[in-house]
Amino acid sequence: MQPIFIGDIQGCFEELEVLLSRADSRFGKDCQINFVGDLINRGPDNLKVLNVVRELWEQGRSLCVLGNHDLHFLARYWGLRERGVDDTLDDLLLCSEVDEWVEWLRRLPLACTGTFHSRPWVMVHAAVGPDWGIADIKKRSDAVSRRLGDDKLEKARAFLAGDVSRDPVRDDLALLTSCRLLVSKPGGWGWTRCGSDLTGGVPWHEIWEAESHDYGIIYGHWAKQGLHSTVDLRGLDTACVHHGRWGVGKLTAWVPDTSLKNPFTVPDESFWQVVAHRAYWRDNC
C-alpha cells in the first residue's frame, strides 16, 4: 500500500478532507494514511477529525501517534490542567462519547515503525533522543504505552500527572511529544520545548543527524520551523491552524516515492499541501 504521512491537523477538518479526497482519487483504498499526532485542539472540528481518523484506523488503513495536544486533552479531562487560552476542546469534552475518546487516545502509541524497501522509518510526534536506535525508541514507547494505557484509569492519570525529573518513563513521554531543542549538560543532553526562539539550545534533529543513524524519521510538532525535508528527516507541521499568525499556514502530506530504495533522499517534491481555509488562531484570541 502507498504510505501517506499527514502533519499536525489540530481540528482542521476541511483541509484534512481535501487531502483524503486526493488520496482516494489517486490510490483508492490502496493507501495507508499515517498521522504524526496533534489531531485535535485550536481548530474548530475535533470530533470530525477524530471520527475520520479512527474509521481509517479501524479499517487497518492508518497508523497514528500521540501528540502533545492530544495529551493536553487527556490532562484536561482528568482535571490535571486548566483551560488554555487557545483551547477549542469543548466539542470533545462535552460530547456524550468523551469517555470513549479518552480510552482510544490514551492507547495510541508514541512511535510507529515501518520500512521503505530496506530503509527503516520511525514516526513520532516531536523528537527522539539523539543516540536512540529503533530498538530504543520501541522500548521507550512501549513503556509509556503500558503506563498511559493502564487498565486502572487512576494509575494512568497519576502517570500523566507525574514529575518528569523523577520518572524517566514520564520524561520519555514528554520528550517524544514536546521536544524541540537539546541542551548540553554534564554527561549528555537535556531537552526543552523552547519558546519563540532557539536561545539556549540546538534543534534536536541536528544532533540526531550527527549520529549517522540507519533509519529515517517522520515527525510534526514544530509549526514555526515549517516543512523540514533533509536526508532521513521529514518534518510535516506547516502551521495550518496558525494561518495568518506566522504567514501562510498549510496542512501537509508526504507521499513518499516508494519506487526509490530510500524515499528520504533529497531533493524531494513528494508533498501535497492545502492552504488553510481561514485564520483559525484569530477565533481563539
Q: Name the amino acid, one letter, at 244.
A: G
* Nearest Cα residue to 221 out of 99, 70, 89, 50: 70
* Nearest Cα residue to 203 out of 143, 257, 126, 265: 126
Predicted confidence (pLDDT) at residue 285 exceeds the cutoff of 50: no
Task: State the cell numbers at 144.
Answer: 509509556
Q: Give the percent of the chain with pLDDT over 90.
A: 87
Contacts from 259-263 at CB under 8 Å and sequence distance 24+?
Answer: 260/116, 260/117, 261/116, 261/117, 261/118, 261/119, 262/116, 262/117, 262/119, 262/216, 263/116, 263/119
pLDDT (tens digit, 9 = 90+) per residue, 129-155?
A: 999 999 999 999 999 999 999 999 999
> Averaged over 60-72, what is the pLDDT?
97
pLDDT (tens digit, 9 = 90+) per residue, 13-49?
A: 999 999 999 999 999 999 999 999 999 999 999 999 9
pLDDT (tens digit, 9 = 90+) per residue, 85-108?
A: 899 999 999 999 999 999 999 999
pLDDT of 151 reads: 96
C-beta neighbour count of 2 within 10 angstroms = 15
Predicted confidence (pLDDT) at residue 4 exceeds the cutoff of 60: yes
Predicted confidence (pLDDT) at residue 196 exceeds the cutoff of 50: no
pLDDT of 191 reads: 85
Predicted confidence (pLDDT) at residue 283 exceeds the cutoff of 60: no
Task: State the cell numbers at 179.
Answer: 521536544
Q: How confident is the model at residue 245 (pLDDT cuts 50, 70, 90)?
A: confident
DSSP character for 39? -
State the Cα–Cα distance between residues 48 and 46, nearest whole angstrom: 6
Is the previous residue joined to 267 through a cis bond, with omega within 30 degrees of 0?
yes
Predicted confidence (pLDDT) at residue 197 exceeds the cutoff of 60: no
pLDDT (tens digit, 9 = 90+) per residue, 100-129?
A: 999 999 999 999 999 998 899 999 999 999
C-beta neighbour count of 24 within 10 angstroms = 12
Q: How confident is the model at residue 284 (pLDDT cuts 50, 70, 90)?
A: very low
Q: DSSP of 176-215, one letter per residue? A: HHH--EEEEETTEEEEE---SS-TT-EEHHHHHHHT--SS
Q: How confident is the model at residue 214 (pLDDT cuts 50, 70, 90)?
A: very high
| Three-state secondary structure call for residue 73 | helix
Q: Give the percent of the chain with pLDDT over 70.
A: 96
> Averaged over 242-265, what is the pLDDT?
94
What does pLDDT average to over the chain?
A: 94
Taken in order of first residue, the domains within the chain and their CATH numbers are 2-177+212-283 (3.60.21.10)
State the Cα–Cα distance between residues 117 and 259, nearest whole angstrom: 9
pLDDT of 199 reads: 60
> Averaged over 56-67, what is the pLDDT?
97
> Averaged over 201-218, what is the pLDDT?
94
pLDDT of 195 reads: 52
